[in-house]
Amino acid sequence: MTRSLAGRRIVVPETREIDVLCGMLERLGAEVLRCPLVGIRDVADPGPVVAWLERFVATPPDDLILFTGEGVQRLHRLAVARGLADGFVAGMAQTRTVVRGPKPARRLRELGVTPDLAAAPPTMAGIVASLEPDDLAGRRVALQLYPEAPGDLIDFLRRRGAAADPVLPYEYASAADDGRVLDTIAAMAAGTVDLVTFTSSPQLRRLRQVARTHGQEAELAEGLAKTRIAAVGPVVAAAVAAAGGTVAIAPPDNFHMRPMVNAIAAALG
């Protein structure tokens, strides 16, 4: 696949691992247009997160549901800062851990904890389906949520008699300024971009928000129609569909950047 993407112009909206993704694409010869859409930062008030960690360490719950690798990493980082890291890891080791996808699973393994249950598919609905056969009455369930997460899972747990204890360890922030985002939308609408690579659903939300704010919703719709779209996994693919786009390229089962790049090279090379 050496230089298999030579001459291709690819928009990369990734933020945290933008250098990694851009590097993989550039090594294959692609011209990369960087447009980081969403930044991630710790919540402004860490007090509720610290209190959640203290509860977890003092009395580990029956179940721990983890949605994102970012959440696991930030919880552990705060636990280290507050002298709770050993208790946090020990508590996770004795708790049934449920992960939505491969990223939280990988972060757990890096801490020496093996996930007990992986949702299939790796979505909110997949977690609900995985827990559906269980008797949850009276169980204490800790949840690491992500910004703007729907309340479906908490509602499900409460209907089944479980006590839910959610925590939100990070929040989203704007990354690229609106001008760069609008330039990217214009390039897509003009048909001068071969591919856009979405790696998280908040990227789609920011793109739509900027288009709506500046009256460019029709141009965004045109850009999504003209530009081939790659999505790293089913959660992102659902966000693409909600934005009016159609995913043309996605890894078949391993929802990471490398398999996505391999799929892109196979499709465009």
What is residue 174's predicted lDDT score, i.e. its pLDDT?
83
Q: What pLDDT, in 10s, does the model give residues 155-174?
A: 999 999 999 999 999 998 88
What are the structural domains of the chain? 9-37+175-268 (3.40.50.10090), 42-171 (3.40.50.10090)
Distance between CA atoms of 169 and 88, rounded to whole angstroms? 14
Listing DSSP states for 60-91 in one string gives --SEEEE--HHHHHHHHHHHHHTT-HHHHHHH
Confidence class of residue 80 from pLDDT cuts 50, 70 and 90? very high
Q: What pLDDT, in 10s, does the model give residues 182-224?
A: 999 999 999 999 999 999 999 999 999 999 999 999 999 999 9
Distance between CA atoms of 214 and 220, rounded to whole angstroms? 11
Sign of the four-CA dihedral 225, 231, 233, 235? negative
Contacts for 209 with CB less than 8 Å, ≥ 6 apart: none
Q: What pLDDT, in 10s, does the model give residues 232-245?
A: 998 899 999 999 99
Helix (H) or strand (E) holding 129: helix 124-131
Distance between CA atoms of 63 and 116, rounded to whole angstroms? 10
Distance between CA atoms of 115 and 19, rounded to whole angstroms? 29
